[in-house]
Structure 1
């Protein structure tokens, strides 16, 4: 049986600049969320104002929904050291408690499958909280509340670290024969590709942007993997 796999190669000369807390990279990004309550849009959580005089002018909020999430697209690739979250100043710390902070390059499950930096706890009103992410690489910063049915309210998100640079993309199509289940063997396939290409694991990370699904035998499985240099 032939399996068709799409391989995306991302290459870049990484350019590092001083990070620290000098520049809030969140201000350069665009935000979206699972749904929006009235005019409390996602972008208001990255407007540079932690606490304005009118909450609705500077905070984002979802309605009461299951598994609410908010996502920041930094538009470039960063090594993220610190994420600061400013909760609602007037009430309701539970609307920002138990939030998973996830950082990565994948948009699987709206970005909510990326690695976890931290989970918020001990939230009090009008007090921004800083979380250390230990230099996690990624383009997307997600705030998600899986398993909860509630509002997700954020008055500001700040992101600090180091700029890594833009990455060029080259799209390749690979045709391969396999008698196994590509979906079940997806991680093994990435490892074999990395070995076959002679890629150094200290410089390159291969990952699926969308894992291949198990399909009927006569159909081609499709997936994508990303090579980070």
Structure 2
């Protein structure tokens, strides 16, 4: 018998390509959805080429969706990537979604259909800019295999 479990509160370690001010990577997983960067609840990189943010889930999970709260200035031309590789900082793992344009201050869910990976990356490939994320949440599922003993299978 297999039981499917869905969770959003899996702990992980966040990191990013650089840090601007107090905008550490862990601010994007602190549970605070405030989209005003000045309130101190958003991660924030320096302006650099192809800025990225990554969450290490510490083991492989099936990622059903990723929900992002965007800053007051929005976000565009970003990608969500999920996988097990840290080659190129994890930014060449398979792509879950493209964030063409995100409405400033909005929260949007991107469906990843059970993609497997240890790392969730958000990257702005080939652009020189800041990457600001106010909250990143994930819905994961994993299966627990339960084996029935011969005694419990008796009729």
Shorter chain as denominator, the TM-score bin is 0.7 to 0.9
Q: Which of 35, 40, 46 is 2:23 aligned to?
A: 40
Superposition misfits of 4+ residues, deviation over 6 angstroms: none
Aligned-residue CA RMSD (Å) = 1.9
Cα separation, 1, equivalents of 2:45 and 2:35: 19
Q: Which of 100, 109, 124 is 1:145 aligned to?
A: 124
Q: Which of 70, 74, 88 is 2:53 aligned to?
A: 70
Unaligned runs of 5+ in 2: 145-155
Alpha-carbon shift at residue 154 of structure 1 (Å): 0.1
Cα separation, 1, equivalents of 2:34 and 2:46: 21
Cα separation, 2, equivalents of 1:146 and 1:64: 13
Cα separation, 2, equivalents of 1:72 and 1:16: 26
Q: Which residue of structure 1 aligns with residue 88 of structure 2?
A: 109
Alpha-carbon shift at residue 133 of structure 1 (Å): 0.5
- Number of residues of Structure 1 aligned to a counterpart in Structure 2: 143
Q: Which residue of structure 2 aligns with residue 4 of structure 1?
A: none
User: Which TM-score applies when normalising by structure 2?
Assistant: 0.85
User: Which TM-score applies when normalising by structure 1?
Assistant: 0.58
**Could you say which structure has the larger radius of gyration?**
1
Alpha-carbon shift at residue 146 of structure 1 (Å): 1.1
Q: Which residue of structure 2 aligns with residue 174 of structure 1?
A: none
Is 2:9 aligned against 1:30?
A: no
Cα separation, 2, equivalents of 1:51 and 1:158: 14
Q: Which residue of structure 2 aligns with residue 18 of structure 1?
A: 5
Cα separation, 2, equivalents of 1:149 and 1:121: 16
Q: Assess, with a 3 A threshold, how the Cα gap between structure 1 residues 38 and 133 changes in structure 2: closer, same or farther.
A: same
Alpha-carbon shift at residue 125 of structure 1 (Å): 1.4
Unaligned runs of 5+ in 1: 1-14, 166-229
Alignment partner of 1:113: what SS?
coil
Q: Report the structure, 1 or 2, having the larger strand content.
A: 2
